[in-house]
Structure 1
Amino acid sequence: MAKNGAKIAILDLNPVAAEAAAQQIRDLGATAIGVACNVLQRESLEAAAAQVLAELGPCDLLLNGAGGNHPKGTTGQEFLDVDRLDDPELTSFFDLDPAGVEFVFNLNFLGTLLPTQVFARQMLGRSGCSIVNVSSMSAFCPLTKIPAYSAAKAAVSNFTQWLAVHFSKAGIRVNALAPGFFLTQQNHKIID
């Protein structure tokens, strides 16, 4: 996008990471800013949206890429082993921590909903605006051991379909990407 003249705002919970990514884009000769933002806090999103509007103009394309998993929303085994239900070394389905599941759901689903609520307002009344949400193939074919993540990404996929219809008469196109499974530093323990 930068090579094609887009002005880009990188929003990240970590302002150093946001600025580092923006600098890589600027090194290509493009316009980019790094903005500290918490996608789970409306006030943070509103401040980020105001900064983006002031420095780059209104948002034309929103890419909702916040997401992830948490160990407390993950089981210790692929299959329930009834003989090991009381094993303190394993987390069974029955041991999943509701706070861990809530964290995963909030990060993935609310981390898509809230930025959309804030940034889509800048798109109203303008043509050619789009929202792209990042789902996962795990939404359609759940990986074992990560029920919270799979359910949250399924919610993102469903929300994307709903939002596409909801915004259709407002001229905002909404789609989702569902990346396949690939090894990252974050998920290597689950996949390996």
Structure 2
Amino acid sequence: MMDKIAVVTGAGGTLCSAMAKALAAQGWKVALLGRTLSKLEKTHAEIDAAGGTAICVLADVSSEAEVTAAKEEVEAKLGVATLLINGAGGNQSAALPDTTEFDARELEPENDSVKGFFNLSMETFRSVIEINTMGTVIPCFVFGKAMAAEGRGNIINFASMTSFRPITRVAAYAMAKNGIVSFTQWLAAYLAPAGIRVNAIAPGFFLNERSRQIMFHPDGSQTVRAQNILRQTPLKRFGEAEELIGTMNWLISDENAGFVTGITVPVDGGFLSSPGV
């Protein structure tokens, strides 16, 4: 039996670390890619303690040169990866307006009482789009090429609820994640002759280190943002990282999902099914 080798980008994060650990528990050798070594080492230590195999590889996924170097390191240490999970990405607070609708004060050059669309940093806006789009395209380009040479492979991209609805305040992130759904469909059709399936998972509202600060006050009470989200989520709770594993396992199984490619699977507690009226 051939070795099962996976690459997980963003493997130091809450969601992708859970996925990496689940893969390792199933016998995959996992390359943990990310920009922060301490976060990757934490995931690695947990995999190692459970008897799994993993390596940490530093790379900025929006850099073709760094991802290419990462691929060479993965192949030297583990072999050719036939599974790629593109979980790296994220948002930046500087790209978020603090209002949900236009306020005339944002047109005043010296007025910093409100941060709207018209006084955001366009450089920051661009960087959010860059990490969330090219940060997926480049790993697909680099690792997908090796999969095509093997004639087999599986790619899972990360979409979002913002792929379907332009949720307030997150314009750059929504723009990028909407693009991920389209790119997933395009790449699935393109790589089908190479024996590679390409799908995406769209998590609903899951809690991680960053989102906890947005969803909860220091005293543990819910913010208005959290209350609005839960009002629109029929299951009335946030998701847990482990609740993505079943979808991942289905998508990577040739036995169970061998005829599935080009789709985006929401794992959202019903969020998309609730219009709020």
- TM-score category (smaller protein): over 0.9
Contact 2:106 2:115 in 1 (8 A): no
Given the alignment, which residue of 173, 189, 192 partners 2:214? 189
* Count of aligned positions: 192
Aligned equivalents of 1:186, 1:109: Cα separation in 2: 20
The DSSP-based 3-state class of the residue aligned with 1:178 is: strand
Aligned equivalents of 2:85, 2:115: Cα separation in 1: 34
- Note if 1:157 corresponds to 2:181: yes
Given the alignment, which residue of 23, 27, 49 partners 2:71? 49
Contact 1:7 1:31 in 2 (8 A): yes
1:183, CA displacement in angstroms? 3.4
CA RMSD of aligned residues (A): 1.7
The DSSP-based 3-state class of the residue aligned with 2:178 is: helix
- Note if 1:121 corresponds to 2:130: no
Given the alignment, which residue of 147, 165, 179 partners 2:203? 179
Q: Deviations over 1:21-66 (max 9, x none)?
A: 1221111111111111111211211111011111111011000011
Gaps in structure 1 of 5+ consecutive residues:
none
Given the alignment, which residue of 40, 51, 61 partners 1:29? 51
Given the alignment, which residue of 87, 97, 106 partners 1:65? 87
Q: TM-score, normalised on structure 1?
A: 0.92
Contact 2:105 2:114 in 1 (8 A): no
Q: Quote the sequence identity (%).
A: 36
Q: Tell me the equivalent position of 2:164.
A: 140
Structure of higher RCO (CA pairs closer than 8 Å, 6+ residues apart): 1
Aligned equivalents of 2:200, 2:187: Cα separation in 1: 11
Aligned equivalents of 2:77, 2:198: Cα separation in 1: 25
The DSSP-based 3-state class of the residue aligned with 1:53 is: helix
Aligned equivalents of 1:24, 1:70: Cα separation in 2: 28
Q: Tell me the equivalent position of 2:33.
A: 11
1:125, CA displacement in angstroms? 3.6
